[in-house]
Amino acid sequence: MFVFVMSFLTYILLSWSGGTSIQDVTIAFFLAIVVALVVPKFSRSSFWSKGCFEPRRVWDFFYFVFGPYAKAMWECNVDVAKRVINGEINPGIGKFDSRLKTDVGRMMLALFIVLTPGTYVVDIDDDGVFYIHSIYLPSTTPTEADLCRHFAVWVRRIAE
């Protein structure tokens, strides 16, 4: 039912042009039925059975994105702008063990890191070790906080 409702609403929102017609609602209804029938056959049951849509996890996700992550984005944008202007860079690749067990958690952490200015995920080992290129590494052995702030802690709360 959740997939049907989300598919229906997504189609309506994407096709919105100031109003809705009966054609839009009909197309959304039939496409939502198709998606609701097809998605469970292709999804892994372990992902859906772990409760990724629990209210606490959803709340933590939105709190993280609009709180600590938004603040980190602002700080990183300002930091990268300063480094571009004054030329104080020390690029390099650092590694840290994320201790994430699921592919969803690793993907989520990688996306948060890549979206942060000045950092890029080069590789992720099978054991969850991240290799990150950064515009500025403060030392030859950077810590997890130097490479991705405390994003891994939040991702462990949300996706693990």
Cβ contacts of 85 within 8 Å, gap of 6 or more: none
Helix axes 103-115, 151-159, angle to 10 degrees: 140
User: What pLDDT is recorded for position 110?
Assistant: 92
User: What pTM does this model have?
Assistant: 0.66
pLDDT per residue as tens, the chain (160 positions) = 778 888 888 888 888 777 778 888 899 899 988 888 887 665 555 444 555 667 888 888 899 999 999 999 999 999 999 999 998 988 999 998 888 888 888 999 999 999 888 899 999 998 889 999 999 988 888 888 888 888 988 888 888 7
User: What pLDDT is recorded for position 19?
Assistant: 76
Q: What does the buried/exposed string (b/e) look like for 35-54 if buried means 16 or more CB atoms within 10 Å of the residue's CB?
A: bbeeeeeeeeeeeeeeeeee
* Contact present, 113 and 119 (Cβ < 8 Å): yes
* Contact present, 94 and 134 (Cβ < 8 Å): yes
Helix, strand, coil in percent for the chain, rounding step 5:
60, 10, 25
Domain range annotation of the chain:
2-43, 55-159
User: What pLDDT is recorded for position 81?
Assistant: 93
